[in-house]
Chain A
Amino acid sequence: MINRNFRTDPATGLVFHETAEKLIRANAVAAVVSLLVGGILAFFVIMTRWPAVHLLPADWFYLVLTAHGVDMLVLWIIFFEIAVLYFAGCVLLKCRLAAPKWAWTGFWLMVIGGIMNNVAVFRGDSSVMFTSYVPMGAHPAFYLGLILFAVGALIGCFVFLGSLVVAKSEKTYNGSLPLVTFGAVVACIIAVFTIASGAIILIPTFLWSVGLIPTIDSLMYKTVWWAFGHSSQQINVSAHVAIWYAIAAIVFGAKPMSEKVSRGAFLLYIFFLQLASAHHLLSDPGLTSNWKIFNTSYAMYLAVLASMVHGLTVPGAIEVAQRQKGYNRGLFEWLRKAPWGNPVFSGMFISLVGFGFLGGISGVMMGTEQLNLIIHNTIYVPGHFHATVVVGTTLAFMAMTYFLIPTLFRREIMFPKLAKWQPYLFGLGMSGFALFMMGAGTLGVPRRHWDMTFAGNPLGYEFAGTAYLMMGLTAICGLIAIIGGGAYLLITVGSVFFGKKIDVPEYRTLTLREGAAPRPVRQPVAVAIGAHHGNIGIAGFVAPGTFTLAMVFLVAFVLYYFVNWKYLSTVWPLS
């Protein structure tokens, strides 16, 4: 018996399949619970790395840091991403979810795997960090938990792909996939690659941990592990770029400037983004420079190009939509008149700017073969990825939540005033946090390190006073971000459980015929293809404001890039 119960949301016109909706909710709730746990752990990490506080003892610090990495980078992000996949598949295509039993199996595998891994870490014998580099070994449950979680996520990916097949065969949409769904498909394809890489390395490591395999080569492990570890960040990029497009569409009714460019950029992600995994191995022995240069340049930076394109087309689409509404004066009226008090928009926009300026530029810089020498394993690295994964991905997901609570959970947002400020608190706090960590990293402060003072160690190194200042500022900004994250949890949990209910018609059974999309009205080709942006913009540029911002970005990028080459040229000659 196939469940064909659908409900329509009158406010947005979105159509929810009953089973899909339940699964999206379950995954979103699991994500938020993981964020809560990871956020509490983040507090202890920050308070320990703040030299003036130095809260936890060493063993607890390394334990908490391991759990923080797993709970944030794996559990929070991937649970939310599965929810995004089901949303972009079933809700946007107005179709039913394929294989609901498999979807629930996947969900529960992820839950069990996540808990198993956390239990292993909190038992205290698996403080091996998120990367779990061999030959340092964790309890077998650490690896088994991750494997179960990955299998569950893989099932989720295939349920999503199956739902696309359902939508196509039941004709719930006409023509091509919506751009956001296309982005989700890209995220899904990268996820399948990522999880396969994870299986290739974690299954042997699990067998090694129970004594069935004698040794695992550390360089082989690191190479394959990052095909899992970094590629999972590429799922995030594809997913949050898809969310940027979705929010631009939801808040402004923005349409992509051109489908061809945006889809082409997503396609570049599939072809080239995974190569970036190699930039974790730039300072390692045993790999040639040719291999490093080809891979870490994503074969000539074609994936960076893709992100730079999205960075222009998302705000560009917003600018065009705003100009068409009449905010057509000057360069930036469209931006000034944007709904800065709406957390869906402000969160998305801070995510976009932070991801590009902080995360993107720093990532490309340190992913350069030679420049990596002056950055590798310093606290610059977590600085960089907190700008990409937290300001970029997490904040985009948070912004999306403010849209999902009324539509998906059918509750009004509680504490709307706080919600208005939340993206600023979290986004700006986290941006400062990332920036100051990068500052400390350029002064050599190591990452994953309990005591930068080397107290009582006659051979210890005395860092410059500036490094301590940077770490103090990092901690203060981190606390601001934690308050922002706490506000997010308060608002979402409060709204979902205690928010005022929004009454919308319940589900009703749709027949196949009713669920099918209407035949599109045929338009003359010239109208469809021609100059549909109307008379907006300046000097033939429909989005001159966005273009100006893009040029500012480029100048910052070029300057920062060459400043680092200059800095590299002053260190000891190496060959």
Chain B
Amino acid sequence: MSAIEPPVERIWWKQPLDRVEGTWIVIAFVWCIVMFVMMPYWHIYGKQNLSNEAYRTTAEAYLKKATESAEKTTVRTETDLKIPVVHPAPGGDAYLVARLWQWWPMLELEEGKTYRIHLASMDFLHGFSLQPENINIQVHPGYEHIVTVTPTRAGTYSIICNEYCGINHHTMASKLYVVK
């Protein structure tokens, strides 16, 4: 009789479809295919795709690379903690270290230039969240993720952490400068 009782027709699978259901299934399926195709389409024609380039690393190895790179490209330091601001060569590599509870160093990029930004965590999971652009990338310990970005507008941006990483998670924030 109803949905809480066994079907009256023992051979219910032979009952023909209602027109409402048949039409809706076709429409919904077409829409599902459109949504599916959008993802490969964007890989070919879209400009915002997350990089698949990642390597296994360790905290020590990554920190060493990041420190060496920062030593070569530091242009000034900021805040009481003397956090270096690095200005990597356009087209070059920039290293960002995520650790409790700091992004190190600060990056200064040039508008319209492309950079390979390396991301890795020294301890827990962290969340790279660039504001107000609102680009969000998960940062793992033991994985070096290389993301190619092209800043399009000059200005001062913020990187905040949006993966919970302990009691001072909400203090983990940094600046990113884009200059002309």
Contacts and interface: CB of A to CB of B under 8 A. Distances in A.
Contact of B138 (A308, A369, A376, A540): A376
B51 to A, nearest CB: 6
Tell which of B8, B127, B138 has the most Cβ of chain A within 10 Å: B138
Contacts, number: 310
A569 B3 contact: no
Contact of A444 (B24, B131, B138): B131
A448 B17 CA distance: 47
A203 interface: no
A249 B47 CA distance: 50
B86 interface: no
B38 interface: yes
**Which range holds the interface residue count of chain A?**
35 or more
B6 A286 contact: no
Contacts of A127: 167
Contact of A254 (B2, B24, B174): B2
B46 A459 contact: no
Contacts of B130: 572
Contact of B150 (A180, A287, A364, A573): A573
Given A92-B4, A249-B4, A574 B47 contact: yes
A535 interface: no
Interface in B11-32: 11-21, 23-25, 27-29, 31-32
Given A217-B142, A449-B162, A533-B18, A289 B10 contact: no
A197 interface: no
Tell which of B140, B164, B168 has the most Cβ of chain A within 10 Å: B164
Contact of A219 (B14, B136, B140): B140
B24 A572 contact: no
Interface in A295-316: 297, 300-302, 304-305, 308-309, 312-313, 316
Contacts of A454: 160, 170-171, 173
A180 B4 contact: yes
Nearest to A57: B167
Given A249-B2, A444-B129, A449 B124 contact: no
A510 interface: no
Nearest to B137: A283
Contacts of B131: 444, 461, 463
A573 B175 contact: no
A100 B145 CA distance: 52
A369 B39 contact: yes
B10 A285 contact: no
B135 A571 contact: yes
A473 B50 CA distance: 33
Interface in A439-453: 442-444, 446-452
Given A59-B167, A461-B158, A285 B119 contact: yes
Interface string A232-247: 0000000000000110
A457 B119 contact: no
Nearest to A181: B4
Contact of B134 (A261, A316, A444): A444
B67 interface: no
Tell which of B20, B51, B166 has the most Cβ of chain A within 10 Å: B20
A176 B173 CA distance: 59
A370 interface: yes
B24 A219 contact: no
Nearest to A182: B3
A377 B52 contact: no
Given A133-B124, A574-B49, A529 B173 contact: no
A464 B133 contact: no
A378 interface: yes
Contacts of A443: 132, 134
A444 B40 contact: no
A282 B50 contact: yes
Main secondary structure of the interface of B (DSSP, over half): mixed
A512 B42 CA distance: 62
Contacts of A316: 18, 20-21
B162 A447 contact: yes
B54 interface: yes
A409 interface: no
Interface in A367-395: 368-370, 372-378
B163 interface: yes
Nearest to A262: B3
B43 A571 contact: no
Contacts of A219: 140, 142-143
Interface stretch (A34-42, A144-152, A557-565): A557-565
Tell which of B6, B147, B171 has the most Cβ of chain A within 10 Å: B6
B143 A574 contact: no
A370 to B, nearest CB: 5
Contacts of B169: 62, 448-450
B24 A308 contact: yes
Given A261-B17, A378-B162, A554 B135 contact: no
A283 B158 contact: no
A28 interface: no
B112 to A, nearest CB: 10
A568 B48 CA distance: 7
Contact of B18 (A245, A257, A565): A257
Interface stretch (A18-26, A324-332, A343-351, A541-549): A541-549
A58 interface: yes
B150 A572 contact: yes
Given A448-B164, A459-B158, A529 B16 contact: yes
Given A259-B13, A378-B136, A317 B3 contact: yes
A572 B35 contact: no
A461 B174 CA distance: 8
Given A558-B31, A569-B46, A574-B149, A257 B20 contact: yes
B15 to A, nearest CB: 5
Contact of A373 (B32, B137, B141): B137
Nearest to B25: A309
Contacts of B50: 282-283, 289, 369-370, 373, 574
9 contacts: A176-B7, A180-B4, A288-B52, A289-B49, A374-B134, A378-B136, A529-B15, A542-B20, A550-B24
Nearest first, the 8 A-B pairs at minimum CB distance are A461-B158, A285-B145, A446-B162, A301-B32, A285-B54, A249-B2, A376-B136, A259-B12
Given A136-B166, A370-B39, 8 more contacts: A312-B20, A312-B24, A373-B135, A377-B127, A442-B134, A447-B162, A448-B162, A558-B31
Interface of A: 58-59, 62, 92, 127, 129, 133, 135-136, 173-180, 217-219, 222, 245-246, 248-250, 253-262, 281-289, 293, 297, 300-302, 304-305, 308-309, 312-313, 316-317, 364, 368-370, 372-378, 442-444, 446-452, 454, 457-461, 463-464, 520, 523, 525, 528-529, 533, 540-544, 546-547, 550, 554, 557-558, 561, 565, 568-569, 571-575
